[in-house]
Structure 1
Amino acid sequence: MSRKIVTTLACHIVVCLLFPLAVTLGFKAYVAIWGAPASRGVALGLAVQLIFAALVLANVVIALVENIRAKVFITAVLVVANLAYLLPQHPLRALFFSGLSGGLTLVAIYLALRFSSCSKSATDAK
């Protein structure tokens, strides 16, 4: 595998590993600021697992795609899917999860582009 693909996959893997940490920290911050969330009779454990699975799948596809517009489009589809899935029942959580998944994915895209251009300039200098 080329260095660019390895760098891109590493950036997207790190972002996927940061997602559960960010969810835990976000929930703890919510509880610290506003108290325990009001129960609506629906547990979100499986929904969070589905959102995480969609995030991992989207990041794998994004890591393998070369076109930057396609990467941004796939990220937008991920955000809209999160909103469509959670918005009717859980509007605050929909905003949190869609913003988190979209933001982390965009950060991974940026870092992958940044690191691949740094490694390209380092190999050009030799």
Structure 2
Amino acid sequence: MTKQKIKAVACHAVACLLFPIATTVGFQTYTSIFGSPLSRGVAIGLAVELIFAVFVLTNGLIAMTTSMKAKMFLASALVLVNLIYLLPQHPLRALFFAGLSGGLALLAIYAARRLGSDVKSV
């Protein structure tokens, strides 16, 4: 594996580590502001596990892909899948998870590009 791929995998691994932390902080903030959320529809605990698993797999694919168009397509597909899965019953959570997963994936792509570039900034 090249150094650039190792840096990309490291950046996406950090994004995957930040996902559960951001989820916990987001839910605690929501609970402190609005109170306990209503329970309805799909079991949200299992849904969060599924969303996290898809997030990890997608970030693994993004890290191994070299084409920027493919990376952007995968990140966009991740956001769209989150919206399709959660929007019917959990619109606020859908926006949260779509923004979180898309934002972290884009942040990891940006960080990997910055770390992988050989151009030194002055």
The structure with the larger Rg is 1
Amino acid at match of 2:23: V
The equivalent of 2:33 in structure 1 is: 33
Matched, 1:23 2:16: no
Cα deviation, 1:78-126, whole Å, max 9, x if unaligned, reads: 0000000000010000000010000000000000000001xx246xxxx
> 1:104-119 residue pairs with structure 2 within 5 A?
104-117=104-117
Quick one: distance in 2 between partners of 1:42 and 1:79?
Answer: 19
Where structure 2 has 5 or more consecutive residues not aligned to the other structure, the ranges are none
User: Corresponding residue for 1:66?
Assistant: 66
Matched position secondary structure for 1:38: coil
Letter in 1 for 2:104: L
Give distance in 1, aligned partners of 2:34 and 2:48.
21
Cα RMSD, aligned residues only = 1.1
State the percentage of identical aligned residues. Answer: 57
CA contact under 8 A between 2:9 and 2:60: conserved in structure 1?
A: yes
Could you tell me how far 1:2 is from its partner in structure 2? 1.3
For residues 86 and 110 of structure 2, the distance between their equivalents in structure 1, rounded to whole angstroms, comes to 27
After TM superposition, give the deviation of residue 69 of structure 1 in Å. Answer: 1.0
Change (3 A) 1:60 1:41: closer
- Which residue number in structure 2 is paired with residue 82 of structure 1? 82
Matching residue's letter, 1:31:
T
Deviation at 1:43, TM superposition (A): 2.6
Q: Give the C-alpha shift of residue 41 in structure 1.
A: 5.7
Q: Which runs of 4+ in 1 moved over 4 A?
A: none
Structure 1 alignment gaps of length 5 or more: none
| Distance across 2 between alignment mates of 1:32 and 1:61 | 36
Tell me the number of residue pairs that the alignment of Structure 1 and Structure 2 aligns.
120
Q: How many Å apart are 1:38 and its aligned residue?
A: 1.7
Give the match's secondary structure for 2:39: coil
Q: CA deviation at 1:51?
A: 0.3
